[in-house]
Structure 1
Amino acid sequence: MATDADFRTRLQDWLPRLVLAPSFAVTLLFVYGFILFTIVLSFTGSKMLPRFTWVGFENYEKLFALPAWNTAIVNIAIFASLYIVICTVIGLMLAIFLDQKIRGEGMLRPIYLYPMALSFIVTGTAWKWFLDPGIGLQNIMRQWGWESFTFTWIKDADYALYTIVLAAVWQTSGFVMAMFLAGLRGIDNEILKAAQIDGASNWQLYRRIVIPLLRPAFLSAFVILSHLAIKSYDLVVALTGGGPGRATEMPATFMYSYTFTRNQMGIGASSAVIMLMTIAAIMVPYLYAELKEKKA
């Protein structure tokens, strides 16, 4: 016969599971359930509403035949490459700068990190105002006397994509800095002192010892920045709206447009699956390497 002590022990064992069960069920349904639903839709002839008429890979064939999708692929390749490289370089430089134990570090770190506290919608809107020739930088410079100053990137189809890079780098560089700074503070000082005793210069110290030891931070930064680049919908919508024309079209904006505006749900779902596969191609090797390293 079970005693009160046994009952309390069982309750303590099951209580965490009971508390987590609702959130687990919701996540299972509204995240993984809808991912599976989207994959199914990508193989159907769905238009404005889901229609479970199986069409195989027809939507994928149509997708890669669309000029707008090809433009989006080129744009995301350019944007992601510049975004990842520039954020990584700036974040590393800022981290090295702060790691010198400079005066005022406690004040500078929040300043660098503050943009990450903003949503991409707020960032996109603020940069849209700043870059607008009529009310932003160009207008201010001309009011100050530089009548010939011109900065119309946001209106120029050849340069509009780079305004998204500017805004994204401004928002995320501080976060990358924080990751690298944590990595720098975790390096054993004895290793650095031994290298300095052996006559290593600061350049050699960072190139041959510090930067190689920051490999996990570089990998984490790459994974996070890649993920943010692929799902960069809100920043693009707030800053350029995908324009001028389709100059800043991204896979995320393409997916939304074809699913909810053009009533091509099957094609929109197929583009979402391609985005999911791209993220998985980045995340799965990273998680595998992390788990393998922990087991070792």
Structure 2
Amino acid sequence: MTSNQSVRIPKKRRGLGDVLETWLPKIVMSPSLVLTVVFIYGFIIWTSVLSFTKSRMLPQYEFVGFDQYVKLFQNDRWMDALQNLAVFGILFIAICLVLGLFLAILLDQKIRGEGFIRTIYLYPMALSFIVTGTVWKWILNPSVGLENFFQSIGFENFEFDWLVNPDKAIYTVVIAGVWQSSGFVMALFLAGLRSVDESIIKAAQIDGASLSTIYIRIIIPSLGPVFFSAVIMLAHIAIKSFDLVMALTGGGPGNSTDVPAIFMYQFSFTRSRIGMGAASAVVMLMGIISILVPFLYSQLRSKKDEY
């Protein structure tokens, strides 16, 4: 055989096992992919289309441009819902961040029983918002909750009627939301604290820096990505707040705890104004997208910088 002659290696025939190994995962995953495309992205597109129509009780496809959006932002209840969402969102995010960071710093001291305490803090996150709202509705109910308890043990002048007070009812939603989500934020911060390079901390201790100085000037500033991730996740929870509010206050008293999610549900399914309900849903979707896009961009950019 000369050097110019090439050796032909016969191609290995693919057996049934090789074919199944290639196509079986695709066949198994295809129903889930189809359902996801239809029932998530398909209905998002359909809802967006309905928002540009004058649909009421049933869908109609007579396009009216941005009329539904104009009527939406002229609706006083929608504006009240946005205001309530702003109050709830700002307080919910701020308190969860502060409380979560505080709890994470305490656990970072490697105290005895850390695992047990961490489980207690994380347990509320395992509950649904329906359960959380129902439990806090009992606790804050003036007739059977905290007010009744303290009055029964001798504090007859004690009052805590926030749940039925239109000016303070939104703060009860904040209390319930913080109780459920602060443990999750604590876990995020604790993971961030444990990832800080210990050599930097030891160098600061050798230089005579106190523990508080180390946390304030070294550790906490290095947790920027954790802060950003926590804010994104908490904002996403706040915008989608429906089950918590419905279980706790039902949007009342009056419209004092009404939020965009409740507005969208009621206008779409109980007031037969599908077009406006769809417009409110699209506005909520745009709000969530405006939060997720910077988050995804920062994640992709950080991975790119690593390479």
User: TM-score if structure 2 supplies the norm length?
Assistant: 0.94
1:75 corresponds to: 84
Query: Amino acid of the residue matched to residue 233 of structure 1?
Result: F
Counterpart Cα distance in 1 of 2:11 and 2:174? 65
Deviation for aligned residue 1:222: 0.5
Counterpart Cα distance in 2 of 1:77 and 1:142? 34
Deviation for aligned residue 1:212: 1.6
2:165 corresponds to: 156
Q: CA RMSD in A?
A: 1.3
2:116 corresponds to: 107
Counterpart Cα distance in 2 of 1:49 and 1:206? 58
1:232 corresponds to: 241
2:4 corresponds to: none
SS at match of 1:214: helix
Choose from 216, 221, 245 the match for 1:207.
216
1:263 corresponds to: 272
1:287 corresponds to: 296
Moved more, 8-17 or 109-118: 8-17
1:135 corresponds to: 144
When Rg is computed on C-alpha atoms for both structures, the one with the higher figure is: 2
Moved more, 74-83 or 187-196: 187-196
Map 1:32-47; keep pairs closer than 5 Å: 32-47=41-56
Deviation for aligned residue 1:4: 5.6
Counterpart Cα distance in 2 of 1:182 and 1:104? 17
SS at match of 2:79: helix
2:197 corresponds to: 188
Deviation for aligned residue 1:25: 1.1
SS at match of 1:158: coil
1:14 corresponds to: 23
CA displacement, residues 250-270 of structure 1 (integer Å, 9 cap, x when unaligned) = 000000111111111000000
Query: Amino acid of the residue matched to residue 279 of structure 1?
Result: I
SS at match of 2:112: coil
Choose from 76, 93, 109 the match for 2:102.
93
Counterpart Cα distance in 1 of 2:21 and 2:208? 59
Counterpart Cα distance in 2 of 1:100 and 1:4? 62
Query: Amino acid of the residue matched to residue 97 of structure 2?
Result: T
Counterpart Cα distance in 2 of 1:159 and 1:285? 33
Choose from 42, 45, 55 the match for 2:64.
55
Structure 2 residue ranges without an equivalent (≥5): 1-9
User: Does residue 221 in structure 1 map to residue 230 in structure 2?
Assistant: yes
SS at match of 1:145: coil
Query: Amino acid of the residue matched to residue 173 of structure 1?
Result: S
CA displacement, residues 156-207 of structure 1 (integer Å, 9 cap, x when unaligned) = 0000000000000000000100111111111111111111112222222111
CA displacement, residues 98-134 of structure 1 (integer Å, 9 cap, x when unaligned) = 0100001111011000101110000000000110111
SS at match of 1:81: helix
Deviation for aligned residue 1:6: 4.8
Choose from 122, 128, 137 the match for 2:131.
122
Counterpart Cα distance in 1 of 2:72 and 2:275? 10
1:242 corresponds to: 251
Structure 1 residue ranges without an equivalent (≥5): none
Counterpart Cα distance in 2 of 1:265 and 1:3? 60
User: Does residue 27 in structure 1 map to residue 33 in structure 2?
Assistant: no
Counterpart Cα distance in 2 of 1:95 and 1:67? 41
User: TM-score if structure 1 supplies the norm length?
Assistant: 0.97
Count of residue pairs the alignment pairs up: 296
Query: Amino acid of the residue matched to residue 262 of structure 1?
Result: R
Deviation for aligned residue 1:33: 0.7
Counterpart Cα distance in 2 of 1:285 and 1:14? 36
Identical counterparts, % of pairs: 57
Counterpart Cα distance in 1 of 2:104 and 2:170? 27
Counterpart Cα distance in 2 of 1:247 and 1:266? 24
